Structure 1
């Protein structure tokens, strides 16, 4: 019986000793996992872009139309691709919204137009060759859609103004029953409202430098030749290439400065 009492007393001692020691020790503060506050992103940046665009136009025609008493007209046309280079300055308000103003020069586009005209005086056919260029100023806004592995997709839109120029046009023509004729039509410049829609990806090369690869749809408006047409009477004021738009692929570089992304402190919560 005494052996059982000794065994019970020993077991109770072993069980209670750690609890008594723990009660005598000061409490231990256990830290939760540290949390990082989102980094603030904002500030001024510079940008530069180069790219290539395919161009299309709704139509082209003489203005006023039809010229020279023509009663029946058929118009055909084609536009070549254009190259562009641009630069701008912008401001990021936070990690998801930014705006910039850009100025770009577009060149290398070529217009080829063909018309078949008929009327009381006979039938005429003309082929026009001219070069196209533009200077486009845009105010753009972008929404950045989050960053994964250093890559940020974005969407954007822009509005502005385009100065469109047609170079002097070489006009080769045929008058049915008479023969060929040719001449030059004066160069002309025309200003238009312009707008654009954009989407793309930005890659963080460094905390302050990003490379962009993007697509842009741009509407640059109308192009117009000079007046009058030396081959015609003053009834033909000019010809117009109307509603020109472009599908652009562009590569850009952005550099942030003066208050760019700020490092956020690591805060340990207990």
Structure 2
């Protein structure tokens, strides 16, 4: 079975199951890895990665204060807000101990809301989610002999997530207030990710890589504002959770 035939079903199912792509990468890597492994040359390195978020979602949960109620005419947000494909990238430094690598990175992610999925016959949806990520990660090279090195790994860290998501009643009258609901705020959350990929040593010091990643960020809390059909304004809290499946290409350069 080829690497392409192994990854194809996972790619097709990635939007239905965010972990499918990671599972496909991991399966392909295990199949491609020989049993024998030899120690790789250690050394410090810098790394740069960039790619696309294939699927990303925001899951808001409204939290009402004690005794607080929401009018039945107030528009609501779905429990899962789908996003279009977006950008993801990171820069970092690490150390290769000889088949085991540890690195620290700073990254940036951004994706627009899937406006069609968020809209209804009555409401028009729009928005964007952005995040600044800081983290540490560890990777194990499954093959340490030869230029081709499949690897698996993962990391933990923190993300500063910026939300701007809204639903607005469709009305042809310009300049008038309309019933709406929106989230607009920033907060830090705990982030973890699982990675699988493969690198190729162009020279003893320079490697290129292809990496698949599933990440999840939780623990954020932001304010939401709504106007019901009587244009009564109400503020509520939302607990937020983000998930993302992405593919990146990278370059590692040893010192």
Pairwise same-fold verdict (TM > 0.5): yes
Residue 189 of structure 1: aligned partner: 186
Shift of residue 127, structure 1, vs aligned partner: 3.9
Shift >6 Å, 4+ stretches: 71-74
Q: Please point out which of 147, 152, 155 is paired with 1:150.
A: 147
Q: Does the 8 Å contact 1:163/1:192 carry over to 2? A: yes
Q: Does the 8 Å contact 1:81/1:110 carry over to 2? A: no
Q: Please point out which of 99, 102, 127 is paired with 2:102.
A: 99
Larger Rg, first or second structure (1 or 2): 1
User: By percentage of residues, which structure has more strand?
Assistant: 1
* Mapping of residues 79-228 of structure 1, within 5 Å: 79-93=83-97, 95-110=98-113, 112=115, 114=118, 126-147=123-144, 149-167=146-164, 169-173=165-169, 181=178, 185=182, 187-221=184-218, 226-228=223-225
Shift of residue 105, structure 1, vs aligned partner: 0.7
Instruction: Name the count of aligned residue pairs.
Output: 207
Residue 25 of structure 1: aligned partner: none
Residue 236 of structure 1: aligned partner: 235
Deviates more, 1:195-204 or 1:105-114: 105-114
Q: Please point out which of 230, 243, 246 is paired with 1:245.
A: 243
- Mark the CA change 1:187 to 1:146 in structure 2 (over 3 Å): closer, same or farther: same
Distance in 2, matches of 1:251 and 1:97, equals: 20
Distance in 2, matches of 1:230 and 1:185, equals: 9
Distance in 1, matches of 2:221 and 2:44, equals: 38
* TM superposition score normalised by structure 2: 0.67
**Structure 1: which 5+ runs fail to align?**
1-37, 117-124, 258-270
Distance in 2, matches of 1:50 and 1:96, equals: 23
Distance in 2, matches of 1:186 and 1:174, equals: 18
Query: RMSD value over aligned CA atoms?
Result: 3.6
SS of the residue corresponding to residue 236 of structure 1 reads strand
Q: Does the 8 Å contact 2:47/2:251 carry over to 1? A: yes
Q: Does the 8 Å contact 2:179/2:226 carry over to 1? A: no
**Structure 2: which 5+ runs fail to align?**
1-37
Shift of residue 233, structure 1, vs aligned partner: 4.9
Residue 47 of structure 1: aligned partner: 47
Shift of residue 174, structure 1, vs aligned partner: 6.4
* TM superposition score normalised by structure 1: 0.64
Shift of residue 215, structure 1, vs aligned partner: 0.7
